[in-house]
Amino acid sequence: MIKSTAVLIGEVLKFAFGALLLIGSGQWHAAIRGWTLRGSLVAAGTPAAIFALQNILIQVSVRRATGGERGGGEIEGLVKAED
């Protein structure tokens, strides 16, 4: 509960800070007029999709490297060799 509250507060603060910067620079009206749902989804969705794909590939590679799936367990062997 506390973790999700901290994330929410962080997101609200980022939005407020960005809005204050737009208002302070006098760009608020231009930003609102130029806003479109499609543009917003492309600007936010493309990096989010790439980030999600990257995280999935990292999880798969770690599982395979540690023998979690039909992998070789190379990392486990390195850790045992150091002990």
Structure confidence by residue, pLDDT tens digits, 24-80: 999 888 888 988 999 988 999 999 999 999 999 999 888 888 876 555 555 555 555
Q: Provide the residue type at 24 as one letter.
A: G
Is residue 81 pLDDT above 70, yes or no?
no
Give dist(CA 77, CA 82) in Å, integer.
9
> What's residue 39's pLDDT?
92
Q: Where are the alpha helices (DSSP H) in the chain?
A: 2-25, 28-33, 37-65, 74-82
Phi, psi of 68 (to 5 degrees): -65, -30
Is residue 83 pLDDT above 50, yes or no?
no
> What's residue 47's pLDDT?
92
Domain range for 17: 1-35
> What's residue 50's pLDDT?
94
> What's residue 70's pLDDT?
55
> What is the reported pTM?
0.46
Is the domain of 30 the same as that of 42? Answer: no
Is the domain of 59 the same as that of 78? Answer: yes
Is the domain of 72 the same as that of 50? Answer: yes
Give dist(CA 22, CA 15) in Å, integer.
11
Is the domain of 18 the same as that of 44? Answer: no
Is the domain of 30 the same as that of 50? Answer: no
- What's the token pair of residue 14? 């980022």
- At CA 53, angle to CA 52 and CA 55, rounded to 5? 65
Is residue 82 pLDDT above 80, yes or no?
no
Give dist(CA 61, CA 68) in Å, integer.
10
